[in-house]
Chain A
Amino acid sequence: MTIQFLTISQLSDLLKNKKISYEELVDETFLLIKKYSSINSFITLNQKQALIDAKKLNVSNDQNSLTGIPIAQKDLFCTKGLKTTCGSKMLSNFVPPYDATVVSNLNSAGTICIGKTNMDEFAMGSSNETSFYGNVHNPWKEGFVPGGSSGGSAAAVAAGLVPAATGTDTGGSIRQPAALCGLTGIKPTYGRVSRWGMIAFASSLDQGGPICRNAEDCALLLDAMSGYDEKDTTSLKIDPTKINNNINEPLEHLNIGIVREFKQSDLSVDSQQLFSNTIKEFENLGAKISEISLPNIVQSVPTYYVVAPAECSSNLSRYDGVKYGYRSSNADDLESLYVNSRSEGFGEEVKRRILMGTYVLSSGYYDAYYKKAQQVRRLIKNDFGNAFKEVDVILTPTSPSQAFEFGSKGKKDPTELYLEDLYTISANLAGLPALSMPNGFINGLPVGVQLIGNYLDEEKILKLGHYFQKETDHHLKKPNLEGFA
């Protein structure tokens, strides 16, 4: 019996029925990780502590659906006593003295932290090619990207090493890797999940969420991750979600909107076909499909690439070699300390975004760029507001293409990679919840479809995803993994 590729529910059953012990499960997990280490999905493993935690469960009476379940934490979440690097040389020696709220919530729910997953540096990227710790392979095809920035988390789950992992999503960094790896991932409503301990990239866009094998598992994890946290002023004062219990309840007739402004021609012929199939599948489920207009949606990528770099340029100013993190050995005076530590500690993409952000905030340019972008952002939010008067959920492809080869995009022109986020970015700008789930394959590589819900409608989109997954089997496919063992 192998634990590889099992879902949370399946593993939970094995544990409850004593078919496997907590320690055996942890041991098996680390064996798998070692076997498939060439995927490079992990930066740091938590083996010693994971076994201690598993042993503790033997003598406790806890037995809920997450007890003993091994999960991986994206290396953007602070884990007390366990190195947290953000995929960057800048934090390659940083050991946080505290746990992120997401981490402590999941620990309290009984999960076991297996390790920290690889990611694009400081969450900036759509292919996990900017990590200081090297590229992550898409388990579906060696030498192909898993998506980003939560590439390591997606690869670890797709390869069946862990049933679930946490990710963060600022412009699509949960949904796009989920899609490229054949998984289900959800970015919650802004404020649903606490950002305390979630190392900041773009504060008004970042949200943490789960990447799992199906919608049901996502609901389980979201129920544990979410909820009001007074340490985060932007956290919504609401209870954690309670979706998993309701996920099998009958689905009301839903109106699904297709965005007029997303031209079919943005997609390849294969992608177009898959998307049309998905629309039909939803119609078979009883949904009503209609066209809606989001007039400013094509401005979402330009808007994002002003707002996100601006916020990140400021958020990353704290990395100055003074209090923690990397300090250059060429630091004879203060200016050298700053310039050398930062230039040596940050990678190219991070530097590009810091420079861009500094530019759009600088005096003389603020109004034309940052202020303008935030105004267009409001227009985008308003567009969604109008659309949700007519439909319950909006359906789009998750990304313009399936996984691509390392180094094939963005080398000459960085904006090439930015367009990967075309469909996902607007949900971050407006703060709306959005889910991605597999809807087919192109050349053996998974493709995903996105459901965007109205504020706080995670239950609606997870239920819809769950029902879709009851009638389809895209999410049940597994990669071959021959090239990796």
Chain B
Amino acid sequence: MDDKTVRTIFYLSRLKQDKDGSEKIKNDLKAILEMVNSLKEIDTDNIMPLHNPLEETSRVFEDTVSSDNEKSLFLENAPESDGDYFIVPKVVE
């Protein structure tokens, strides 16, 4: 795993890549990847990936409103809010 790849996955995960931990995390990931490499040997031609163990199909629901205004409930838990909106630092497009 080269440095650029490591930086990229830290970014995509929105995690801080601090200098001290950097070597350890690289080694940890290397060890995990080595362990999972045995998968490459398995012949999976024409095998469909399994995404849900029971392979059922979805239930669908009627288009009827069944929830109330619970605004205060959510904003209570918010790290920062003005009672009407969740507040985050200014976003620049």
Contact = CB atoms under 8 A, between A and B. Distances in A.
B8 to A, nearest CB: 7
B15 A379 contact: no
A204 B15 contact: no
Interface in B1-59: 1, 5, 8-10, 12-16, 18, 25, 28-29, 31-33, 35-40, 42, 44, 47-54, 56, 58-59
A404 interface: no
A313 interface: yes
B29 A375 contact: no
Given A97-B70, A333-B90, A379-B44, A351 B38 contact: no
Contact of B14 (A320, A326, A430): A320
A301 B38 CA distance: 10
Interface residues of A, number: 71
Contacts of B12: 358, 362
B35 A352 contact: no
Interface stretch (A1-9, A99-107, A233-241, A274-282): A233-241
B14 to A, nearest CB: 4
B15 A378 contact: no
A335 B13 CA distance: 11
A343 B50 contact: no
Nearest to A344: B16
Contacts of B65: none
A368 B40 contact: yes
B29 A334 contact: no
A455 B25 contact: no
Q: Number of contact residues on B: which range applies?
A: 35 or more
Given A322-B79, A455-B54, A356 B91 contact: no
Interface string B70-93: 100110011110000010111100
A234 B5 CA distance: 35
A377 B50 contact: yes
A362 B52 CA distance: 21
A379 B79 CA distance: 45
A283 to B, nearest CB: 31
Interface string A146-174: 00000000000000000000000000000
A377 B5 CA distance: 27
Contacts of B5: 359
Given A305-B35, A369-B36, A374 B51 contact: yes
Contacts of B8: 362
Interface stretch (A248-256, A413-421, A459-467): A413-421
Contacts of B61: 230
A375 B59 CA distance: 25
A377 B53 CA distance: 9
Given A352-B29, A368-B40, A362 B48 contact: no
A458 to B, nearest CB: 14
Nearest to A430: B53
Contacts of A301: 35
14 contacts: A190-B52, A191-B54, A191-B56, A236-B56, A320-B14, A334-B89, A336-B89, A351-B15, A351-B25, A352-B29, A358-B13, A359-B5, A375-B44, A431-B53
